[in-house]
Amino acid sequence: MTTSKKREIATSFTTLTFLVISISGVMMFFHVFEMQVKALHNILGLVFVIAGGVHVIMNWKSMKNYFSKKVFISATIIVIIASTGLIFASSNQGNNPKMVLMQSMINAPIENSFQVLNIKYKEATKKLELQNIRILDNESIDDIAKANKTSPFKIVAIITSK
């Protein structure tokens, strides 16, 4: 395969993954089909990094001219400052509400967790017993997980399965 063809392939993949990541990122920002596009966004983000790296390598001679220009250096500084600012701003927003809810659910008495999940106690214990997970009265999901050397999320997945 010629170098020209390799450059065309690298540029095509970089461009197309950039478009998909851009669109899915905007969709996630505005919470449009957020859960549906999250996996796509994350996986193609990795593909984009690889495609971008290959693109830079394949076009290194022409690209190194851009890297030494004042505009590129200024843009790099601005992006680093903005990214750092956004990271620090988001870290000062307090606890993630989803994590607060999940921790509360996992640490609550088991009857309360089952009630919130709209699962009958006997039904849930039967599902857990079928998976060789023992359950004692008045435990939390976290206690059950620790006693059975598994993840609390696995416990929730078992009891909420159909």
Q: Does residue 61 or residue 48 have the better pLDDT?
A: 48
The reported pLDDT for the residue numbered 26 is 94
Reported as a single tens digit per residue, the pLDDT across 125-144 is 899 899 998 887 668 999 99
Reported as a single tens digit per residue, the pLDDT across 8-19 is 898 999 999 999
Beta bridge partners of residue 140, listed in sequence order: 109
Q: Which has the minimum average pLDDT: 38-52, 85-99, 125-139? A: 85-99
In 3-state terms, the chain is what percent helix, strand and coil (to 5)? 80, 0, 20
- Res 95 pLDDT > 80: no
The reported pLDDT for the residue numbered 137 is 62
Q: Does residue 93 or residue 135 have the better pLDDT?
A: 135
Instruction: Give the count of beta carbons closer than 10 Å to the beta carbon of residue 105.
Output: 17
Round the average pLDDT of the chain to a whole number and report it: 88
Quote the percentage of the chain above a pLDDT of 70: 97
Task: Give the pLDDT band (50/70/90) at residue 62.
Answer: confident
Task: Give the pLDDT band (50/70/90) at residue 101.
Answer: confident
User: In the chain, what are the domain boundaries?
Assistant: 3-58, 67-94, 98-160
- Res 45 pLDDT > 90: yes
Torsion on CA atoms 60, 63, 64, 66, rounded to nearest 10? -170
Estimate the crossing angle of helix 34-58 against helix 60-67, to 10 degrees: 100
The reported pLDDT for the residue numbered 102 is 85
